[in-house]
Amino acid sequence: MPTAEEVANPRVRFVNRAKPDPTRQYVLYWMQMYRRLERNHALDYAIARAVEFGKPLVVYEGLRLDYPWASVRHHRFILEGMRANARRAKALGINYWPFVQTPTEPGTGLLRRLARLACLVVTDDYPTFIVPRQTQALALRAPVAVVAVDSNGVVPLSWLGPPVAAAAHLRPRIHRAFARAWPKRAAAEPDFPAVTRQAVEPPFAVWDATQPLDRFLDSLPLDRSVPAVPGVEGGAEAAARLLQRFLREKLHRYATERNTPDSPADGPASGLSPYLHYGHISIEAVVEATLNTVNGWSLAQVGGSGRDFYSDSADVNAFLDEAITWRDVGYHWHWHRAADVEALERALPAWAWATLQKHASDRREAVYSLEQFEAGQTHDEIWNLAQRELVATGRIHNYMRMLWGKKILEWSATPTEAYRIMVELNNKYALDGRDPNSWTGILWTLGLFDRPWAPERPVFGTVRYMSSDNTSRKFKKLVKYRQYVQGLPEIAAVRRG
């Protein structure tokens, strides 16, 4: 049964049965995935409890070395975010304790030690990757309450009801709840009363956020075959700049041009996905800033039909339907599955699994290994371009990502092997990999959130088919996209040939 507090606040979930203990030293906010100091429901909740108990607030942000697909690319992006948080925390005068694991400072048992000194532990209720397991592991050992707070979307996930089979089923639920959720957004600039800012001496050496990142990264045993992406900087400040550039220069083209493959500089895509994934910016901040581009917008204007719900601007509606509905579809799916994404049979709808199994032994035009896919060594130039973009930049244009996944299905020995390859390549190289939407985006290529399509084809069965030839014709032979990708640097570890 939910507690009275969980009923009153739909974003709050008590992970264990322990009680808060106001006699301890501080309230601990364990920042796992909402790695920002604004527009953060978990942070707001932690501040409120610290005020209630008359205790300081401690914000702990950690980074392990052994997370799946750990690499220089992912690590640097996260560290840039921690560096930005350290600057912001210093300006606010709050207790921010960053810890980065190194071979000489493994931090064994550190979080449990911090929890033993805390009145309660507040953390992020993120529905996938290693976060649910980490949260549960601490909850089993902590002597005080561990409270997970949902800051994933504009509408609390607990309001969105049972699982759905398609975005079209979730969209009306989001629309019905939007007006109720909108006034309850997290604080744009949280207030830290004096009691929460009382200094607390950290019981460990905090990470020095002022040190040169390249030198520090060189000292860590990370996968160096996935280097950082030049010109792509992590952190809340970089995310805010990118958002403003998108609204100023690109939003007005979004409805008509978003599906056309192009470079990040020239295309209308926002580029915010990695920042949303790592929590460097809140979807609430993105939505609010987008709606503020509509002259005279107010909550009273929402309620149009279908995809015209948010305003009378086609570009605003198109972007927000992607940013809210399609993003929430992934989060909502994971929310109800306890992060179970490993078994393809359990992840796919029954019709998709059945049709793929029916055609699992069909003859393939070609069958490639993971290593061949990774190196972009297929017979299809267009697929190779998409893979090269992923490896070099940590992203694939959204339309090309769909084609990329469909072809891996077509050229893998089995659907299960195709799924394994997609997960490995996407999560290794994509800056927004390991995200709920990354998983469901991959699974969409295998039939999730889709319907059967005729005619029934070899390999695909009734799963939706896509072809490189049709893509090339649709987008005028992909001339601009080809020029952009061919100008990208090669990554030595996967150099072709």
Residues whose CB falls within 8 Å of the CB of residue 229, separated by 6 or more in sequence, listed in order: 73, 392, 393, 394, 431
For the chain, the domains span 4-151, 344-494
Q: How far apart are CA 100 and CA 205, in angstroms?
A: 10
Number of H helices and number of E strands within the chain?
Answer: 22, 6
pLDDT of residue 307: 79
- 447, 449, 436, 448: which is closest to 339 by C-alpha? 436
Paired tokens of 389: 């973009």
pTM of the model: 0.96
Paired tokens of 326: 């399609």
The answer to whether 290 touches 317, Cβ cutoff 8 Å, is: no
Q: How far apart are CA 198 and CA 215, in angstroms?
A: 33
The answer to whether 61 touches 80, Cβ cutoff 8 Å, is: no
**Which residues of the chain, if any, have pLDDT below 50?**
495-497
Paired tokens of 434: 């390991």
- Give bridge partners of residue 31 from the DSSP assignment: 61
pLDDT of residue 6: 60
DSSP class per residue in 449-474: T----SSPBTTTBTS----HHHHHHH
- Give bridge partners of residue 13 from the DSSP assignment: 148
**344-494 domain in CATH 1.10.8.870?**
no
pLDDT of residue 215: 97
Q: Which residues of 451-487 are buried (b: 16+ CB within 10 A; e: fewer)?
A: eeeeeebebbbbbbbbebeebbeebeebebbeebbee
Q: Are strands 12-14 and 146-149 parallel, antiparallel or unpaired?
A: antiparallel
Q: How far is CA 151 from CA 48, 237, 480, 492, in A?
A: 15, 19, 38, 39
Q: How far apart are CA 419 and CA 442, in angstroms?
A: 8
The answer to whether 73 touches 429, Cβ cutoff 8 Å, is: yes
Q: How far apart are CA 7 and CA 3, in angstroms?
A: 6
pLDDT of residue 491: 79
The answer to whether 396 touches 444, Cβ cutoff 8 Å, is: no
Which CATH number applies to 4-151: 3.30.70.20, 3.30.465.10, 3.40.50.620, 1.10.238.10? Answer: 3.40.50.620
Q: Which residues of 27-37 are buried (b: 16+ CB within 10 A; e: fewer)?
A: bbbbbbbbbbb
What sign does the CA torsion over 392, 394, 395, 401 have?
positive
- 155, 60, 158, 193: which is closest to 117 by C-alpha? 60
Query: What's the chain's Rg over C-alpha atoms?
Result: 23
- 206, 224, 204: which is closest to 214 by C-alpha? 224
